[in-house]
A and B are shown apart, each in its own frame.
Chain A
Amino acid sequence: MNIKADFPSLVEEIDYGTPQSKAQKQVTLNVDGRSITVPEGTSIMRAAMEGGVEIPKLCATDMLDSFGSCRVCLVEIEGRGGTPASCTTPVGEGMIVRTQTERLDAIRRGVMELYVSDHPTGWNEKAGTGASEFDAVAKSIGLTENRYGIEGRNHVKPEGGVAPGHGSLAVDYIARDESNPYFTYDASQCIVCSRCVRACEEVQGTFALTIEGRGFESRVSAGMHEAFIDSECVSCGACVQACPTDALREKAVLAKGLPERSAVTTCAYCGVGCSFKAEVKGDEVIRMMPYKEGKANHGHSCVKGRFAYGYATHKDRILSPMIREKVTDPWREVSWEEAIAHTAKEFRRIQYQYGRTAIGGITSSRCTNEETYLVQKMVRQGFRNNNVDTCARVCHSPTGYGLGQTYGTSAGTQDFDSVDYTDVAVIIGANPASAHPVFASRLKKRLRQGAKLVVLDPRRTEMVKSAHIEADYHLPLKPGTNVAVLTALAHVIVTEGLFNEAFIRERCDWTEFQDWASFVALPENSPETVGKLSGVDPELIRGAARLYATGGNGAIYYGLGVTEHSQGSTTVMAIANLAMATGNIGRPGVGVNPLRGQNNVQGSCDMGSFPHELPGYRHISGEAVRDIYESLWGVKLDDEPGLRIPNMLDAAVDGSFKGIYIQGEDILQSDPDTKHVAAGLAAMECVVVHDLFLNETANYAHVFLPGSTFLEKDGTFTNAERRINMVRKVLEPKARYADWEATQELARAIGLDWNYQHPSQIMDEIAMTTPSFAGVSFELLDRVGSVQWPCNEKAPLGTPIMHIDGFVRGKGKFIRTEYVATDERTGPRFPLLLTTGRILSQYNVGAQTRRTDNSMWHSEDRLEIHPHDAENRGLRDGDWVRLTSRSGETTLRALITDRVSPGVVYTTFHHPDTQANVITTDFSDWATNCPEYKVTAVQVGASNGPSEWQRDYDEQARNSRRIAKLEAAE
């Protein structure tokens, strides 16, 4: 296939120069003879562009507020003196504007001549791309001469050829900053327009850049005149995107040249689901540019989506299918045909020998909706059982259950734009600054506008305090006490009469509310009692509850710190109760918003990945639902739910479960109690791993099928706001098949009559069988960009905000949330509580990000420990420590910090050598089996190196990854 025919050129976006005005009132003006009508408050620059008249500009871009420093965008306005800047001058009714006159030409040329006199353009051709906005403006105003010469004091490098200033005056030159792995900063090309500084402040909210000095010495500085890598910079790329010259430029573009074609696609990292233009040259991605039309990110990005795509071409990628008899054998590379035939034969044999339910499959939250749908379809139609589960089991399954019970849908209630209307944000068990950075930037922007913030987290995260952000209330609760603290918040709301009676009477069941209210009002749920067991000052609980209930639009955002507990589902219900009790549901600015960890965790749940549910969260026991699929697929479906991942592993250890197809998930590294997972996998006879890399699970695999990256396939991802975004192929699959094609080959080999030519046909089948997706098609998504489900005849363009006129389930349901302490308790042997999380530059088990330069920021997992606990144990910062729990032990290096409270330790789980899940227990959520990652009783002590398990594991992993070299011909 010739992809060039599909994407003939670069997707170009119009830069209107200043942000859109949200005013209702319209104003009509005349620009260069054209009549243009725009909302009041629009700048002349933007109005002109909307009317098709482009005014030259350098310091203006529509991602940023106007600034008025470059003096290139000047215009003349009839009846006004002078030449005002069009970016800072708002339109007026009847205004007559001229953008091109002799006077304006002369001024613009004079300004550009001054810029050029201190700029390498035209002197050192290698300085930049020659295709920057600056170059374009110089060209458009027809700059032919430079009266000021290039001999004066300047910032240009004094070597090679006739440099401006002949070297002697070029004292202001500073060397290019190459410290960031992804972009360079070359001060000699900088025109000090401040776009980068403003992007870092207004868009990203990090404030890592400034203009240092004044006058001719003014320069962009990262931190306190530091190298970018050492500064506060988080490498989100907003400054690079904003730079109108080549002063800040992607290294890939400088090294490989400008991209030739691009397609709009969706990031494959977290659940924010940012839209990007994947820009390609030849068969290589040159850069990922955030797409302004993207409804989740509005043109912003983070270090992962923007830069960390190098894993797609990493040498570790396996491009050939492989098989082996025993996991102790080296791998043997085989053809796709052989691998597929072998797998089908093995699965058939196992089912014949051990029974129909002896095999199953795991769908991936990293793959597309279409791919996920096919895996569960293959299990139900082909394996003829319901043994399908997904990695959402270990993250957000309690969200599905809790919100399903209380509201009637297993998803968040809002879109991300809702945050612009929030007055009080409550973040529970989430650190969006690290795990959902683009959303964090949007939230921070709202907080800088004056919204209030409550954070419930054992750690003092970046959201609690960072530049220009400070939580009004931080409740540093002990891990495992979420339910108690949330119920205490409800106690305050009920006993102080802060609930919204009108809302509750109209939308919820009043009797259920009364029952719940009498429960939360019990003295054992008071902040004073809960304070003792959670370690939170009762006054903080009271203050936070009052703020949420009375502070205007209250929105709750939560993450895995809520779900990954033995009472995960209860916590989700407690959150749902709070929102209902305060009437914070069903309009912009409020709601209950789970922050999804992975790009398509929402979608994989939607697509029927759970053993008890068909697509659209319809229980497998429902006859009407089974009928739909039985008649379409031509088989009888099992009406009993199948096995969940932990049950599959238990059954494997017991000997009744023998084969598994795992698409894009590394259960050995990401699931709890690594030793148990390893034992389960080791007991199986055919483990098929379908992945980009030989991941940790593949150490126990018999068949390896090479996967495809998101750049190599078409499809859709569904983000945390239920938004179905397009994924578009920009490269051919490196290993021949996109993942959906590989699954289809396997399904055919086990006898299914599948014949999908394109993922759009799979989406058509999903739409045909699933009411909440009824209106979705690739054609619609191409036309409107994205939609949020439900999308059907009632909501043809999707549903940004749910439960507007009433709850999906009818009446909102209040459920009692009794606090039951986890069985995982501290004691003399294990006196500390371990909780886990993420860091900005790394993603999940790190399979992708560890294979990029992102490791420059985080090359190992560290154990955060409070100075008090460290001192008691004689530990210094950077020491190797042994971390022991009832399940196992591992070693890592300590990081001493008061971000964590005494008694609490914290680590990330991005690196396989850390083996953090050797430590975690097999306790899990009572309703959904979601593992209790966030609470483990541990002991920490000095150590001098890796644990025995880590050494054994390393040895086993090394052995297992061997690929047999083909014998050389004699």
Chain B
Amino acid sequence: MITWRSLFKRFLSDPVAIGAGIVLLLLVLMAVFAPLLAPQNPYDLMQIDIMDSELPPSWKDDGDARFLLGTDAQGRGVLSTIMYGTGISLLIGIGAVVVQAILGVTLGLIAGYKGGWIDAFLMRLADIQMSLSTLMIAIIVLAIFQAAFDANVYADYAIVMLIVIIGVAEWPKFARTVRSSVLGEKNKEYVDAARVIGLPARKVMWGHILPNTLTPVLVISTIQVAEAIMTEAALSFLGLGMPVDRPSLGSLIRSGFEFVFSGQYWITLYPALVLIALVLALNLLGDWMRDVLNPKLRRGDD
């Protein structure tokens, strides 16, 4: 078993992990304090002037000192929209993984502890759902919703929809991980002891077995957040995710996409770099954690 202190020590001895940690911390702080740090509020129509549209970054000849990274087609500062957009991407990524973890841990615990037909049924369902691919499920479900609802209604519920869809589509990963840990723990003496003294199954599962299965849950959570952010970005890029007036990083890239080839590269380039940095930092940290905490888990065999 690894203690938090030894974990921290190993973290400090790995330059890649430190680098990824710092980048992630900076991006999270930037997103959380966006209302204080951002030069403009891109949601406040009073602060946006269409006359400022498509200005290049401030170090270019026609740049404007107010807009460090230039402006988009609606006159919003790219730096400000990135700060707010990173927050929305993180919110959806973390929210979706919370949904995945709650669903997956509960179902995995039940499948592993109860066994029998419940286990067989849940794992078969997990197999089918995994092979359908989250992105494909999300594209089809969101396409139907978008066709069924008015654009304004859709925009209001976009965040909730994305969290729920990405959350529900990915529960099997957590369920499988928890289930296999439960199978390893279930026949140990402390579980027998808890059962013998007459604790109900619910208490044995949640109070005794669950705490010993949380390490792998922690490991996959980080990588799952990265994947959820990527999925959300892809959906928003297709126009099935966040609307343009409440943009995530993916919708920012979409709104700048048509301008790339006419020279206004900055509308797309900077959100794209932030998205890559965010996902890469999460992936590197997840890989590092997996190597340290659980060398047996591998990526690619899921």
Query: Do the two chains bind?
Result: no
- Chain B residues within CB distance 8 Å of chain A: none
